[in-house]
Amino acid sequence: MFHELLFALHGFTGNIFVLEGRRICVLKDISFLHPGEVEVLNRLCLLGTSYKYLQDFIYSPTEGSQGLYLQAYCTGLNKVMNSYTQCLVELEKEVMTDQHISLSHFQHQLDKYHLVFPALEQLTEHIKKQKVSGCRILDAVYKYTSSGIPLVKEAASKILKSCHHILYKQLTAWMLHGILLDPSKEFFIQKRETVEPEISKELTVSSERRSLDVYFLNPDLLPSYILSRVAEKILFAGHSVCCFGKDQTGSSTYLGVTTCGQEDYFAQQLFALQDKSFCSLEFEEVIDQIRTSASEHVWKVIVEQANLVVHLRTVKDFYLIGRGELFQAFIDQANHLLRVPPGPATEHEVNIAFQSSAHQLFMDGDQVTRKIYVTLKSGENMISSHCPTSS
């Protein structure tokens, strides 16, 4: 009978243990079993029922609930179940060597699983019925890590660590390399593509792709134990690498944290976190380090290397008419040209007038002034200017 019991504890039925509905129990009206023994056996069979349900969930794909996080959940769940199967193997060895083993010994060895299995079954049932997917699975599992039952807390922590392997891989790819590894759209950072026809016509293919990639934070997928301010830092760090990711030739010249040679260090920091119990302070500390490194490099590239202040001064001088005397002189010089209908040489003459105005104000030595080119739109009484190198 003990061999039949071991099969039942593995989720298989036989002559003594049968399936009633979805529950494994002792066949009714068995004469050689005492009612007390039947009660004990039925209680043990509850473990076999739960084990069968969890194994079916792990190895039977559920329609509409596929994804990396679900696979990680099943992997973690299977790791938790391994201790149970190992316990059954040890019991089978004892049955083979000791013919007088008692039923109470089975109860003693398997008693702790009466606390763990119902919680795991309840959690799995919630994920299955509510079709919980993506980072929402992290939230569902995290709630059980606060259980007052140490065994349940330990089991949930193992499953959460398995799910965190996916999370930290996505964080590493996004924050350090600007890559969104999210084929099923499960990550709390998403990419939305918007197309503005009047703008896209004027863009090249490479610049169009970069400008149309809009990344945003999806609060519905953000786990409750990751604070919003931390998620914003994650979004900023990855976005900065995307904006300053590769040069126009497509070579891997990263302008984010990777140019500082710290990507390996930060990757190790994130890798170390995935095998620990989640600590909000420790997690935020690592995220802050990455964000600070990204911020410092963005400042260096934009403000120092690209001379942002010079460009802002140019915008002020030439587009916000900060150099009013130049434009006053230009209006005086070009007034006679704009009074008559434009001809083929009008645009050229207008530019000569602009450079002449700059010469009168001793600005002809200014590099920015020499790069300004005034265009005349045909059929309209308006002019515009552009600066190819400084715009």
What would the pLDDT profile of 70-94 be if each residue is shown by its tens digit?
999 999 999 999 999 999 999 999 9
pLDDT of residue 202: 44
Confidence of residue 367 (pLDDT cuts 50, 70, 90): low
Q: What number is the average pLDDT over the span 259-282?
A: 83
Buried b (16+ CB within 10 A) or exposed e, 133-161: bbbbbbbbbbebbebeeeebbebbbbbbb
152 versus 312: the higher-pLDDT residue is 152
For residue 259, what pLDDT is reported? 44
Q: According to the model, what pLDDT value does residue 213 have?
A: 60
How much is the pLDDT for 200? 44
Give residues with Cβ within 8 angstroms of 387, minimum separation 6: 314, 318, 368, 371, 372, 373
Asked if residue 103 lies in contact with residue 40, where contact means CB atoms within 8 angstroms, the answer is yes
**Mean pLDDT calculated for residue range 365-385:** 61
Q: Is the pLDDT of residue 284 over 50?
A: yes
pLDDT of residue 206: 44
Q: What is the mean pLDDT of residues 246-265?
A: 53
Q: What pLDDT is recorded for position 81?
A: 94
Residue with tokens 């992290």: 138
Global pTM value: 0.75
Range with the largest mean pLDDT of 107-121, 209-223, 239-253, 272-286: 107-121
pLDDT of residue 355: 75
Query: Which of residues 206 and 132 earns the better pLDDT score?
Result: 132
CB hemisphere CA count around 322 (13 angstroms) = 8
Lowest mean pLDDT among 223-237, 251-265, 299-313: 251-265
The reported pLDDT for the residue numbered 356 is 77
Across the chain, mean pLDDT equals: 80
Cα–Cα distance for residue pair 345/131, rounded to 1 Å:
70
d(CA 349, CA 242): 43
| Residue 96 tokens, joined | 């083979």
Q: What is the per-residue pLDDT across 47-75, written as a single tens digit (0 to 9) for each?
A: 999 999 999 999 876 554 578 999 999 99
User: Residue 201 above 80 pLDDT?
Assistant: no
| The three-state (H, E, C) secondary structure of the chain, written as one string | CHHHHHHHHCCCCCCCEEEECCEEEECCCCCCCCHHHHHHHHHHHHHHHHHHHHHHHHHCCCCCCCCHHHHHHHHHHHHHHHHHHHHHHHHHHHHHHCCCCCHHHHHHHHCCHHHHHHHHHHHHHHHHHCCCCCCHHHHHHHHHCCCCCHHHHHHHHHHHHHHHHHHHHHHHHHHHHCCCCCCCCCCCEEEEECCCHHHHCCCCHHHHHHHHEEEEECHHHCCCCCCHHHHHHHHHHHHHHHHCCCCCCCCCCCCCHHHHCCHHHHHHHHHHHHCCCCCHHHHHHHHHHHHHHHHHHHHHHHHHHCCHHHHHHHHHHHHCCCCHHHHHHHHHHHHHHHCCCCCCCHHHHHHHHHHHHHHHCCCCCCHHHHHCEEEECCCCCCEEEECCCCC
Specify whether the CB–CB gap between 72 and 187 falls below 8 A: no
Q: Which residue has the tokens 């959690």?
A: 123
What is the percent of the chain where pLDDT is above 90?
39
Which of 59-68, 198-207, 307-316 holds the top average pLDDT?
307-316
Question: What confidence tier does 262 reach under pLDDT thresholds 50, 70, 90?
Answer: confident
Res 65: pLDDT? 53
* Residue 261 scores a pLDDT above 80: no
